[in-house]
Structure 1
Amino acid sequence: MPQYSTLSAERLPDAPGVGRILFTRPEKLNAIGPDTPEEIRAAVAWMEAQDDVHVVLVEGAGRAFCAGYDMDLYAEGEGDHPCKQEGKPWDPMVDYAFMKRSTENIMSLWRTSKPTIAKVQGYAVGGGSDIALSCDLLVMSNDARIGYMPTRVWGCPTTAMWTYRLGPARAKEVMFTGNMIDGAQAAAWGLANRAVPADRLDAQALELAQRIAGVPKSHLAMHKMVVNQVMLTAGLEQTQMMATVFDGITRHNPEGMWFRRYAQVNGFKKAVEWRDSGRHIPEGDEARQAIADLERQLAGQ
């Protein structure tokens, strides 16, 4: 079996035809580290090459599916963002190229010929929701949470899958509010294929995977291609390009830079509490003044 640092990939020995990609950072709620997107792509490629794998379960070890990007690295720390957020001057195309590569890595779950099923417990939030929604099917526990809270400030979901999975009206509600929804609500809205009590999640996801595994690979590939083509015709790739550019802007406009500086001074947890509380977020000149004040505090630390 291939070896990775943030996940594992294997055939399930007691479920013929079923493969599994498992995120293996439970102590971090499987937060996305620098290597995770590339490792997702590599694991998907390995699954694609296994003739006896017809369907792939995507799971997270421990209490959560994936709690998004590891913001201890990117928001609170002093180090530069990997797409050169703090570069002087900021180069939007360098930012775009880095983030587009990450998006393409995650979207390998959608592009592979084999159906992928996200099994979600705990949280699939921020970048974790990108991973879950790039899978073809979604099975959640009733009490699991999914959402993209950084739409309130400092983020835009680069896969743009909310609209294609929910439709425009409900996607706008999720993106305008940054609210999470639970598994039961996700199923009621048609975002999740199934939502079940937590103690039945493993069995329900495996049951669905085994049902799919009995279908010939060629048939599965053709059916997936047909459905994916509808999304492509509706402009998925162009929408993702716009979303990825906008994600860079959200991290460099005054509001995004205020969030970054506030996290550096007060800690990421405090910044998230402000973001998610519904409090007014400084913008424009107000944000610029707040940034100057925060940078003075950083200089004095």
Structure 2
Amino acid sequence: MNDAEFIHLDIRESIAWIRIEQPEKLNALSVEVMRELSDALDVVDQDDEVRVVVVQGDDRAFSVGYDIAQEVAMGVATAEQWYGGLEANIALTMKVWGLNKPVIGAVSGWCLAGGCELAMACDLIVCTDDAQFGEPEIRFGSGPVTLLMPFLIGQKATNELLYTGDTIDAHRAKELGLVNHVVAWEDLDGNVERLARKIALTPLPILRYTKRALTRAYTAMGLQTAVDDNHAIAAVLNSAVTPERAEFTEIVASKGLKAALAWRDARFAQVDAR
């Protein structure tokens, strides 16, 4: 991992700390970031000295999701193109979900869209009290890529978040069972390390088999089938032609992603203000 540009890996006393480092894009999951993150996960999964893995972003954002500007620049448009692209996105999230040792998500700031899915794939989440979670991509004509949310917070809360694109704060996320602990920003690393060290006291084979049992329980409940079925639906959803999606894409191409997101949010601000 010495040549990685966007992922920093630090292994200390049986705990692997993986940090996403693309602050100028709020840790957006570009093709390059995802490739390096996947490589880091492979390294720690195969290292028998590692018992617990921590995935984190920076102070402002865990991750705001997939790199929309890159997708627009690549010209991804048809259902077939989206299906191929989404395959890599799903594979990364499910690699975290199925890693052979526990993964803790250390979340501060924005945790949105594909970034939220990545966090949800972690076995545990500790977040700061300023964290924000959600899948706002629905507001410009996209949708969740890896459909984990119904299995974590239930039908009604999932329906509301995925129909509206709303975000929720850290305390609401804890109420819904999306996160385990909410802490002050300055206490995040210390709390995550204490939790990781407690878990790391358990022998690695026991952790591996316990995680295998837990993931298989969710498989028996239909999680993998839901993820697989959603792959094809998401490809069609992302290629659907709507005036809103067309305008959003045009603004990204002509004025940049920041302007496009401002346009998107302004459409909903009028309703939120009432």
TM-score normalised over the length of structure 1: 0.82
Correspondence 1:212 to 2:199? yes
Residue 117 of structure 1: how far off its partner (Å): 0.4
Counterpart position of 2:264: 275
Contact kept? 1:17, 1:214, Cα under 8 Å: no
Correspondence 1:201 to 2:188? yes
Residue pairs, 1:154-193, within 5 angstroms: 154-193=141-180
Residue 265 of structure 1: how far off its partner (Å): 4.0
Give 2:129's aligned amino acid: N
- Report the Cα distance in structure 2 between the residues aligned to 1:215 and 1:226, rounded to whole angstroms: 16
Give 2:39's aligned amino acid: A
Cα RMSD, aligned residues only: 1.9
Counterpart position of 1:133: 120
Give 1:6's aligned amino acid: F
Contact kept? 2:80, 2:235, Cα under 8 Å: no
- Report the Cα distance in structure 1 between the residues aligned to 2:3 and 2:252, rounded to whole angstroms: 34
Call closer, same or farther: CA 1:110–1:18 in 2, change over 3 Å: same
Counterpart position of 1:293: none
Q: Highest Rg: 1 or 2?
A: 1
- Report the Cα distance in structure 2 between the residues aligned to 1:247 and 1:70, rounded to whole angstroms: 16
- Report the Cα distance in structure 1 between the residues aligned to 2:236 and 2:140, rounded to whole angstroms: 11
Q: Quick one: percent identity of the two aligned structures?
A: 27
Residue 62 of structure 1: how far off its partner (Å): 4.1
Correspondence 1:80 to 2:77? no
- Report the Cα distance in structure 2 between the residues aligned to 1:224 and 1:56, rounded to whole angstroms: 13
- Report the Cα distance in structure 2 between the residues aligned to 1:241 and 1:258, rounded to whole angstroms: 30
Counterpart position of 1:66: 63
Residue 116 of structure 1: how far off its partner (Å): 0.3
Residue 277 of structure 1: how far off its partner (Å): 3.5
- Report the Cα distance in structure 2 between the residues aligned to 1:278 and 1:22, rounded to whole angstroms: 34
Contact kept? 2:93, 2:117, Cα under 8 Å: yes
Contact kept? 1:146, 1:182, Cα under 8 Å: yes
TM-score normalised over the length of structure 2: 0.90
**Where in structure 1 are there 5+ consecutive unaligned residues?**
281-301
Counterpart position of 2:14: 17
Task: Write out the 4+ residue segments of structure 1 that deviate beyond 4 Å after TM superposition.
Answer: none
Counterpart position of 2:250: 261
Question: Equivalent of 1:47, from 44, 48, 62?
Answer: 44
Correspondence 1:8 to 2:5? no
